[in-house]
Amino acid sequence: SLLGYRRIQIMHKTTLGRKPKKKIYHTVQELDRVMELQKKPAMILQLISVIQSQKSGVVLLRDLEKFVGFVDKWNHMAVIQKYPTVFRVSGGHGCRSPPAVTLTDKAKLIVSMEPDARAEMEPILVKNLRKLLMLSVDCRLPLKTVDSVANEMGLPSDFKNSLVLKYPQYFSLNEVNRTEYLHLENWDSSLAVTSREESAKRPPFPSTGRSRASRDGNFPGPFAFRIEFPSGFRPHLKYLEHLRRWQKMDFPSPYLNPRRLDIPDAKARKRAVAVLHELLSLTVEKRLTSDQVEAFRFELRLPTRLLLCLIKHHGIFYLTNKGVFSSVILKEGYDGSELVHKCPLL
């Protein structure tokens, strides 16, 4: 499991009875802050959904507990009070009607724009769902696994009806061993291009013409990944030289069926990093919880020791226990705490 990784210390074998060295995982405050910033928006969106679920568009404050629970009720009450531009409270304080909450006109306007944003994103969502299935061994995934990342991929809550059944030329549903699977109907080679390859067409790192190790770990080339070391990490030359060789090493495409690959091979291990990179790239906010990543391990043929793989490549991925759940973040998706590319829905 990926849970509890923040306190992990990686032990390295030594000789002559010396005490093993310890490597501490370096934190990145800006990316930890990303998770902290998600808490209030998540409550705001939950409240909006609760209010929208009522025909009257109004929720009595005394009834809030049955929607969000006793403990969270007080947190949501604080959010209602803190954001008067989103929520309007009426009644109470001597009025005949009990206190109730509804959306402000400005909030209603923004909410009304959501259908247009979803319509604009539908072709992108269909493409990304097809790419996700193409990453799997048999171009199929358990429907419950896809459903577990539906929100993170921007898929509507009813994507089974609104997307899957709407596009029978791309998707089908079948039961395998009493489990409902989402199948890809047709392979499209034009989609078998990773976000890393798309970025490589516009090299962000100019070549210096020198072969020595780059201090930041970045190298030009079609098989290189973008590296962002944490501020407290000071790699030595031997490490950088090893990273240079790894960056230049070619490897099979994440969209190539991995059944034919020799897992212990170095190129297959680098391909696994590319699969994780692509999986996170398909999400709206370039991140997933650790449990969500683990759910894809079998179908995407991810490493058994997934946690160590992510820690080893800490210049590409970031692990954080901030927020409600532990998460894996694609570093290049963020500039500080800001998401680089925001879709219309977000």
Tell me, what CATH number does 118's domain have? 1.10.10.1420
Q: Are residues 67 and 87 in the same domain?
A: yes
Which of 103, 138, 156 is a domain's end point?
103
| Residue whose token pair is 């998401």 | 339
Q: Are residues 315 and 197 in the same domain?
A: yes
Q: Residue 7 has what pLDDT?
A: 44
Residue 13 lies in a domain: no
Residue 233 lies in a domain: yes
Residue 109 lies in a domain: no
Q: Are residues 194 and 177 in the same domain?
A: no
Contact indicator for 86, 78 with CB cutoff of 8 Å: no
Q: Residue 271 has what pLDDT?
A: 94
Contact indicator for 140, 184 with CB cutoff of 8 Å: yes
Question: Which is nearest to 283 in space by CA: 323, 226, 322, 341?
Answer: 341
Q: Residue 198 has what pLDDT?
A: 87
Contact indicator for 98, 92 with CB cutoff of 8 Å: yes
Q: Considering its fold, how many domains does the chain have in total?
A: 3
Residue 6 lies in a domain: no
Q: Are residues 332 and 195 in the same domain?
A: yes
Dihedral-angle region of residue 35 (phi above 0 means left; psi in -120 to 50 means alpha; beta otherwise): alpha
Q: Are residues 196 and 240 in the same domain?
A: yes
Which of 78, 103, 128 is a domain's end point?
103
Residue 148 lies in a domain: yes
pLDDT tens series, the chain, 346 aa: 454 444 444 444 444 455 555 566 788 999 999 888 887 888 899 999 999 999 999 999 988 888 988 888 888 999 999 999 999 998 877 777 898 999 999 999 999 999 999 999 999 999 999 999 999 999 999 999 999 999 999 999 899 999 999 999 999 999 988 999 999 999 999 999 999 998 876 544 444 444 455 788 888 888 999 999 988 788 888 999 999 999 999 999 999 988 777 777 889 899 999 999 999 999 999 999 999 999 999 999 998 888 889 999 999 999 998 877 889 999 999 999 999 999 888 8
How many whole angstroms separate alpha carbon 193 and alpha carbon 59? 47
Q: Are residues 156 and 246 in the same domain?
A: no
Question: Which is nearest to 285 in space by CA: 194, 134, 151, 146?
Answer: 151
Q: Residue 315 has what pLDDT?
A: 94
Q: Residue 220 has what pLDDT?
A: 84
Q: Residue 259 has what pLDDT?
A: 79
Residue 47 lies in a domain: yes
Q: Are residues 286 and 240 in the same domain?
A: yes
Q: Are residues 196 and 335 in the same domain?
A: yes
Q: Are residues 193 and 331 in the same domain?
A: yes
Residue 4 lies in a domain: no
Domain that holds residue 276: 189-202+215-339
How many whole angstroms separate alpha carbon 120 and alpha carbon 122? 6
Q: Are residues 84 and 134 in the same domain?
A: no
Q: Are residues 311 and 177 in the same domain?
A: no
How many whole angstroms separate alpha carbon 312 and alpha carbon 12? 13
Q: Are residues 294 and 239 in the same domain?
A: yes
